[in-house]
Amino acid sequence: MMTGLPLTLMAPLLGVMLFLPAEGMQGLMLSLLIGTPTLSLVGAIGAALTVGLRKGGVLISLLVLPLYIPCLFLVLRLLKLH
């Protein structure tokens, strides 16, 4: 979860540098504040389930990817509402 924190804190500055409209800044911050911890938590759960397995890399993608997709759709819907 700590790896997403610098990105979340730098997002407004990067948004200004990339000429993001002021209306989009609120949606950007909201999606990052909700999406980053959620995706990190899902990844941590998947890693914890496969940590002792020999071929855990394949299994983690089969476990985690179906859980990532609804989170990403939720964030996209939040961005459309703003």
pLDDT, tens digit, 9 for 90 and up, residues 2-25: 677 888 889 899 999 999 888 888
Q: Which of 29, 32, 30, 24 is nearest to 1 (CA)?
A: 32
pLDDT (0 to 100) of residue 82: 61
Q: Which of 14, 16, 11, 13 is nearest to 30 (CA)?
A: 11
Token pair of 10, please? Answer: 């730098």
Parent domain of 15? 4-81
pLDDT, tens digit, 9 for 90 and up, residues 23-68: 888 888 888 888 888 888 888 888 888 888 888 788 888 888 888 8
- Residue 80: pLDDT band with limits 50, 70, 90: confident
Radius of gyration of the chain (CA): 15
- How many domains, in total, are found in the chain? 1
